[in-house]
Amino acid sequence: MQEPDKISQREITDPAVYFNRRQFLQTGILAASAVATGVVYHELNHPAAGVTKTVPLAGLTTTPTNADNGFHAAEPATSFQDITHYNNFYEFSTDKEGVAAAAAGFNTRGWQVSVEGLVRHPRVFSLAELLSLSPPEERIYRMRCVETWSMVIPWAGYSLSKLLDVVEPLEGARYVAFESLLDPQRMPGQRADVLNWPYVEGLRLDEAMHPLTLLASGIYGQALPPQDGAPLRLVVPWKYGFKGIKSIVKIKLVAEQPRTTWSEAGPNEYGFYANVNPHVDHPRWSQATEQRIGQSGRRPTLMFNGYEAQVGHLYAGLDLRANF
């Protein structure tokens, strides 16, 4: 029998030490891998982060509050952070939590809005000219998205009727057509054919002339941030949010009902009217309840989003199921 090799005998690590070291190493690897997985997971899936820079709006006034006009919803407003970091604006991103980041730095310098069509005084307004038509008023409106979430938003702006009064619609004008900016350079979401760009929307003239219909230039007393439709957008509080066209460059008075982006994208899912209506469901989901952002639990959705007293008469005799 050969003598065991003395040197190697001495070099064999004591099994207890060996397994300890091994266990130590493995625990380390386990922990490190878990941290790495956590970081990757968070990178791929996180809610909107970041803070939006604000620019105060000059000359904000408060409209006389009167219980009946609907100008000031008597409900706690959604936080500025949530309003600016959870919304749809497909021109930038189809991810509601990704819009703010994608829209940051959107350049609105030299913005112009053409008001044209069946009006006595067609005209291209600079943004400053438009804003100077009437001082911005604070309007606290409920906002109900067709996706069944809702907010309460302190907008700033003036009734669209003030602009329409300036340009004077002609006899034959029965509808107002709106158009958003088309610029895939500045609006990266437009590089994909998710919707038929540019985004277009429309209202009946009487809807457009209603005092609740707002041409908004701000939120919380600040200029509209890019993600919420800078520099100028429409707000129609009794209709689903997608009627509120953003970053408007054209307003045209027309005789026939104009085409609208979502009703073209899904004719049986989104109509021209899009009035908030808990009794008429979306073909794929119920519209009876909504999730108020910042609150827990769902609440019942109100007819015309709670503005029935103000706007119900506009739809007297109209079949709301057929005209959804």
Task: Report CA torsion sign: 222, 227, 233, 238.
Answer: negative
Looking at beta carbons only, is 41 or 107 nearer to other proteins? 41
The residue (of 211 and 294) whose beta carbon lies closer to other proteins is 294
- Contacts of other proteins in 197-256 (CB under 8 A): none
- Distance, in Å, from the CA atom of 314 to the CA atom of 311, rounded to the nearest integer, reads 6
Least gap, CB of 270 to other proteins (angstroms): 10
- Give residues 290-319 in contact with other proteins (rule: CB under 8 A): 291, 293-294, 296-298
Q: Is 32 one of the binding residues for other proteins (CB under 8 A)?
A: no
Q: Does 55 bind other proteins (CB under 8 A)?
A: no
Q: Which of 233, 238, 265 is nearest to 249 (CA)?
A: 233
Q: Nearest approach, Cβ of 285 to other proteins (angstroms)? A: 5
Tell me the window of 5-13, 111-119, 203-211, 284-292 that interacts with other proteins (CB under 8 A).
284-292
Q: Are strands 214-219 and 233-235 parallel, antiparallel or unpaired?
A: antiparallel
Closest CB to other proteins among residues 18, 165: 18
75: tokens are 């409900």
CA 259, CA 267: separation in Å to the nearest integer?
A: 11
Which residues are registered as beta bridge partners of 291? 149, 298
Locate all alpha helices (DSSP H) within the chain, ordered by sequence.
6-11, 15-44, 80-85, 99-103, 127-131, 160-167, 205-209, 261-265, 308-311
Burial class (CB in 10 A: 0-12, 13-18, 19+), 3: exposed
Per-residue binding string, other proteins, 83-112, x by CB under 8 A, is: --xx---x---x-xx---------------
Residues in touch with other proteins (CB under 8 A): 22, 26, 29-30, 33-34, 37-38, 41-42, 45, 47-48, 81-82, 85-86, 90, 94, 96-97, 147, 149, 192, 194-195, 265-266, 281, 284-286, 291, 293-294, 296-298
